[in-house]
Structure 1
């Protein structure tokens, strides 16, 4: 995977479905997790910034284009995957955040 351009989220068209935007966010969260595992925090930040653009588009689209029941089910699956990826990214980042803050780690880390 090319972490310099792992997910094309900056070119999402307004004619695409809301669901495709959610799937794009899922792909980006997966790429962010891969970058976090490699310690490539610049890429994580770059993808996070790009996701903000897609999220803003989604908010506008959701008002004009409600999801069907099947799309809503898929949306929930995608959101659960994004949340799981985000939790893992935070777990990976936690020791670095604590070290940067200069505080000792008081939360036990699981293996």
Structure 2
């Protein structure tokens, strides 16, 4: 199950790198990949129980993902505001 968390962390880092390059199409694609991984993780997490060491690693990974997400949001805010202004998409529906 930790493999799913690690895959989400890696995709989160890829999403951050894309946001830093202002490659918003790639950001959206990475987000879609994360959604699939999260769905698979939900299924797996119903069947498995993590050990204390695994829970510690999960916490580290989740903190990394949250840091990446926060940085992505800071980078994306001007882009989201532009789209919202143009009436194309509400900001709340673009990023998780």
Q: Which runs of 5+ in 2 are unaligned?
A: 87-96
Could you state the TM-score of these two structures normalised by the residue count of structure 2?
A: 0.85
Q: Which runs of 5+ in 1 are unaligned?
A: 1-17, 104-111
Distance in 2, Cα, partners of 1:45 & 1:102:
19
Q: Which has the larger radius of gyration?
A: 1
CA deviation vs aligned residue, 1:57-85 (integer Å, no higher than 9, x gap): 11111111111110000000000000000
* Consecutive aligned runs of 4 or more in structure 1 exceeding 3 Å deviation: none
Tell me the number of residue pairs that the alignment of Structure 1 and Structure 2 aligns: 86
Partner of 1:45: 28
Could you state the TM-score of these two structures normalised by the residue count of structure 1?
A: 0.74
Which structure has more relative contact order (CA 8 Å, sep 6+)? It is 2
